[in-house]
Amino acid sequence: MTGETQNTTWPLPKFYFSVTGIPGNPVFQEVTGLESEAQVIEYRAGNSPIFAPIKMPGLQKFGNVTMKKGIFVTDNALWTWFSSISMNTIARSTIVINLLDQTGTPQYMWTLNNAWPTKITGTDLKSDGNEVAVESIEVAYETMTVAIG
């Protein structure tokens, strides 16, 4: 039994991931907000014998993605990227978030197209704490594609 190859398919762990496409190539400890939804359009024709409206899919809507990372002494790449925003002249980028398997091979890939930073948050400061300083950046994007393996 020991050392045999198992034919069981296991779920991927969520702690082994990478993020590319952000200036400075920071390493993040958390990514949240990978979501999309279709808005619902309700319609009822005036002569419809059914009193309930018909529901149809409308525009797709994408939420913002929030990424968190530790603060290092000489690393201000996120603040520099956020500071580059000026009235409608931000350089948009393509951000790829990879969920990796045990060999480091991407198995799921979320691609955020035309992404740009909308909010940056510095760490909270407490004199009685002993946690690592963490900053976060929130990114808006126009479309998201998901690819498998």
Domain count, the chain: 1
- What pLDDT digit, counting tens, does each position of 110-126 carry? 999 999 999 999 988 88
CB-based contact 113:143 (threshold 8 Å): yes
- What pLDDT digit, counting tens, does each position of 2-37 carry? 667 767 777 888 889 999 999 889 999 999 999 999
Whole-angstrom CA distances from 64 to 18, 34, 44, 100, 140 are 18, 8, 33, 22, 5
Q: Is the pTM of this model over 0.85?
A: no
- What pLDDT digit, counting tens, does each position of 73-93 carry? 888 889 988 988 877 778 889
Residue 139 located in a structural domain: yes
- Nearest CA to 27 out of 90, 79, 71, 62 is that of 71
Residue 55 located in a structural domain: no
Torsion sign across C-alpha atoms 44, 49, 55, 59: negative
Residue 5 located in a structural domain: no
Residue 107: pLDDT over 80: yes
In this prediction, residue 86 carries a pLDDT of 75
Residue 116 located in a structural domain: yes
Residue 11 located in a structural domain: no
Residue 8 located in a structural domain: no
Residue 54 located in a structural domain: no
Expressed as residue numbers, the domain containing 22 is 17-35+63-148
Instruction: Check which CATH number belongs to the domain holding 90 and give it.
Output: 2.30.110.20
In this prediction, residue 75 carries a pLDDT of 86
Residue 115 located in a structural domain: yes
